[in-house]
């Protein structure tokens, strides 16, 4: 791509853009969390595209202005990826007044990257027929110039996927109408309280579907399980008091400039009660106008799923 390549060439009849188009380029070594980051930005309202070839980027940005910010995931798995090319694209976009561009680099300790590859048994794209360590070392060296040029550097070494989503929310959730992203997640006390929670509420006082054989294999997402938990006389008053508390706290946190609030709801196995309570609270908050993402930690271990947006 030439330095003279025009990124923005408005289509005939398109309306002039009043505010710069936000563009976030996400890169970093394989295994550092790029896919999780792209999903997180999508939950935050971004138009998210992963593995877009660099040669197609000018065509994408030369079209009519998008109604929301754009997040692009790029790394060595892109068909035409090059460090020089990505730096050049970033520089070109940054020079255009109609764009507000940020380059996000997800960093990670090499030992942790190696462990992640060992756990997943994936082949490294730069060393498909060798030990993953060889590919990791090559990739870290290759991306050094991008790391140095990054506008935002996030070290994911000690991050869970949820921690990474929370960090990106702190950087990029700037919507003035709401100003606060709320995460609601269920968990099992057997596996410990998740990191990064602002508030934890215990749901173990509610009657437990585990003791009903026909409900044991279900989850709080199932209608029969939900009815069983909701039938507890303490359920409705509990939800009312939780929402009353959040009605008080969330606007106060937003007014103090906090951009992210994370609520954890725990029960014994993290499968029934906490899941249904998390769903109930999240949907109620979404109806009140908050941007809410839901995560069920124990259910996510059984099937791939990240935080999902409600409302």
pLDDT digits (tens, 9 = 90+) for 138-170: 888 888 888 888 888 898 988 888 788 888 887
Q: Give pLDDT, residue 18.
A: 56
Q: Give pLDDT, residue 105.
A: 92
Distance CA 3, CA 1 (A): 7
Name the stretches of the chain with pLDDT < 70: 1-19, 120-121, 173-179, 302-311
Q: Give pLDDT, residue 222.
A: 95
Q: Which pair of structure tokens corresponds to residue 4?
A: 């003279």
Cβ pair 232, 204 in contact under 8 A: no
Domain 21-172 class?
alpha beta
Q: Give pLDDT, residue 7.
A: 46
User: Do the bridges between strand 199-202 and strand 308-310 make them parallel or antiparallel, or are there none, so unpaired?
Assistant: unpaired
Q: Give pLDDT, residue 121.
A: 63
Distance CA 52, CA 204 (A): 46
pTM to 2 decimals?
0.53
Cβ pair 132, 52 in contact under 8 A: no
Q: Could you tell me the sign of the dihedral formed by the alpha carbons of 290, 99, 101, 11, in that order?
A: positive
Sequence ranges of the chain with CATH classification 3.40.50.300: 21-172
Q: Give pLDDT, residue 303.
A: 54
Q: Give pLDDT, residue 243.
A: 97
Q: Give pLDDT, residue 310.
A: 52
Distance CA 30, CA 37 (A): 12
Q: Which of 25, 10, 9, 19 is nearest to 98 (CA)?
A: 19
Contacts of 56 (CB under 8 A, 6+ apart): none
Q: Which of 127, 107, 83, 90 is nearest to 28 (CA)?
A: 107
Q: What is the pLDDT of residues 51-106, one digit of tens each?
A: 888 888 878 887 777 778 999 998 887 777 888 888 888 887 877 777 888 889 99
Outline where DSSP puts E strands in 28-167: 47-50, 70-73, 99-107, 152-155
Residue 251, SS3? helix
């Amino acid at each position: 791509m030439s330095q003279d390549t025009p990124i923005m060439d408005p289509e005939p009849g398109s309306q002039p853009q009043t505010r710069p188009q936000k563009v976030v380029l996400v890169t970093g070594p394989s295994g550092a969390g790029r896919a999780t980051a792209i999903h997180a930005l999508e939950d935050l309202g971004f138009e998210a595209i992963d593995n877009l070839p660099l040669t197609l980027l000018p065509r994408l940005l030369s079209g009519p202005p998008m109604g929301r910010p754009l997040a692009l995931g790029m790394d060595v798995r892109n068909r035409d990826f090059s460090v020089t090319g990505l730096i050049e694209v970033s520089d070109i976009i940054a020079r255009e007044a109609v764009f507000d561009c940020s380059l996000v680099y997800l960093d990670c300790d090499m030992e942790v990257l190696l462990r992640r590859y060992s756990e997943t048994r994936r082949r490294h794209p730069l060393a498909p027929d060798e030990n993953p360590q060889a590919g990791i070392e090559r990739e870290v060296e290759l991306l050094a110039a991008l790391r140095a040029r990054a506008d935002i550097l996030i070290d994911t070494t000690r991050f869970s996927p949820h921690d990474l989503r929370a960090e990106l929310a702190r950087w990029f959730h700037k919507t003035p109408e709401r100003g606060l992203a709320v995460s609601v997640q269920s968990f099992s006390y057997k596996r410990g309280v998740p990191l990064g929670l602002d508030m934890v509420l215990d749901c173990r006082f509610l009657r437990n579907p585990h003791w009903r054989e026909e409900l044991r294999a279900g989850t709080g997402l199932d209608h029969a399980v939900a009815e069983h938990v909701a039938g507890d006389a303490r359920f409705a008053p509990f939800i009312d008091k939780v929402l009353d508390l959040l009605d008080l706290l969330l606007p106060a946190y937003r007014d103090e400039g906090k951009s992210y609030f994370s609520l954890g709801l725990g029960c014994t196995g993290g499968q029934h009660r906490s899941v249904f309570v998390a769903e109930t609270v999240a949907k109620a908050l979404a109806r009140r106008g908050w941007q809410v993402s839901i995560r069920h930690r124990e259910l996510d271990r059984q099937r791939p799923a990240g935080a999902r947006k409600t409302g």
